[in-house]
Chain A
Amino acid sequence: MLKVVVPVEEEILRAAERRKATGVGEDIAQFLAELINLGFEHRLQQLYQRFEAGEISLGYFAHELGLSVRDLYAALEQRGLPTSNIGAKPSAAGS
């Protein structure tokens, strides 16, 4: 996995340290990595909802997420989501 240095809000770092101190979590770096992944996933889902609704195009979606169109195509495919937003919107049950 790629390693980078990122600035972190103090309260997030304190939370990570508290988790480690109380034995809830062990590795601060892992906790922060999970937070970043969650943030990315949340942003992707937010934008997918706008894409699904036809408010934004696939290219705009990719740009907003900071991915290339091809990487976004792969990310959607990996999550079992269509890359076209024309046609019947899948129901909440996923049918």
Chain B
Amino acid sequence: MLTVVFDAGPLITACKFKSQGKLVVDHLLSGCRIVIAPSVEEEVAVLGAGYPDGMAAGERIVRGEIQVVLVTERRWVRHLADYALGEGERDSIELCAQMEAEALVTDDYLAFVAATRLGLKVWMLPDLVLELTERGSLTLEVVEAILEVIRPRYRRGVIEHSLVRLQEMEE
């Protein structure tokens, strides 16, 4: 199964929005293994425990559906030192390399650029959704609904781009 490392932003979004009566994260978990760093768990499920999505993330962590993995290898401390990144973003980049995950999932520009420059495959949350569609884990109908429901969290162009790709898959 596809393994991806999630940064805090997309994890919050995935645990917050529902499509067809199911949280986006649950749609994703049917087709991929989600791994997070302890700092991301802290940001989303511990400090965010007062929010329904923080609770949802916490429940999935307790059930082992979202895995929390310690960062034990830090190969890019110096490379990342001067980027204005948060702890969660740094740890997610390091963890992605350590786990040899398929991709890092982040909606953050700076994390996206830094990780790409380090040679990692980086996806935004909508890209992961499309990837799971291509792999047959999600139906086109579900994906279209997910993209619409998460749209307010993105700048113009991102969801539009994904919808065009979805249309190409349909053809």
> Which among A50, A59, A84 is the interface contact of B155 at CB below 8 angstroms?
A84
Task: Assess the A57–B153 pair: CB atoms within 8 A.
Answer: no
* Closest CB in chain B relative to A48 CB, distance in Å: 13
Which residues of A sit under 8 angstroms from B53, Cβ to Cβ?
70
Given the contacts A54-B110, A58-B86, A68-B43, A85 and B155 also touching, CB distance less than 8 Å:
yes
Cβ of A62 within 8 Å of any chain B Cβ, yes or no, is yes
Given the contacts A54-B113, A86-B124, A70 and B86 also touching, CB distance less than 8 Å:
no
Which residues of B sit under 8 angstroms from A57, Cβ to Cβ?
83-86, 89, 108-111
Which residues of A sit under 8 angstroms from B48, Cβ to Cβ?
68-71
Cβ of B5 within 8 Å of any chain A Cβ, yes or no, is no
Kindly state the separation between the CA atoms of A55 and B110 in the bound complex, as whole angstroms.
Answer: 7
Task: Assess the A84–B86 pair: CB atoms within 8 A.
Answer: no
Given the contacts A55-B84, A57-B85, A60-B86, A90 and B43 also touching, CB distance less than 8 Å:
no
Task: Assess the B47–A84 pair: CB atoms within 8 A.
Answer: no
Cβ of A87 within 8 Å of any chain B Cβ, yes or no, is yes
When C-beta atoms are compared, the residue in chain B nearest to A50 turns out to be B84
Residues of A participating in the B interface, judged by any CB pair closer than 8 Å? 50, 54-63, 68-71, 73-74, 77, 82-90
Do most interface residues of chain B lie in helix, strand or loop, or is the interface mixed? helix
8 A Cβ contacts from B76-124 to A: 83-89, 107-113, 124
The A/B interface has a contact count, at CB < 8 Å, of 109
Which residues of B sit under 8 angstroms from A63, Cβ to Cβ?
86-87
* Closest CB in chain B relative to A64 CB, distance in Å: 9
> Which among A56, A68, A70, A89 is the interface contact of B84 at CB below 8 angstroms?
A56
Which residues of A sit under 8 angstroms from B111, Cβ to Cβ?
57
Which residues of B sit under 8 angstroms from A54, Cβ to Cβ?
109-110, 113
> Which among A56, A84, A90 is the interface contact of B124 at CB below 8 angstroms?
A84
Task: Assess the A88–B51 pair: CB atoms within 8 A.
Answer: no
Q: List 23 A-B contacts (CB under 8 A).
A: A56-B84, A57-B84, A57-B86, A57-B89, A57-B108, A58-B86, A59-B86, A60-B84, A69-B9, A69-B47, A70-B8, A70-B12, A71-B47, A73-B12, A83-B9, A83-B12, A84-B107, A85-B108, A85-B155, A86-B107, A86-B112, A87-B157, A88-B155
Which residues of B sit under 8 angstroms from A88, Cβ to Cβ?
155-157
Cβ of B44 within 8 Å of any chain A Cβ, yes or no, is yes
* Closest CB in chain B relative to A12 CB, distance in Å: 31
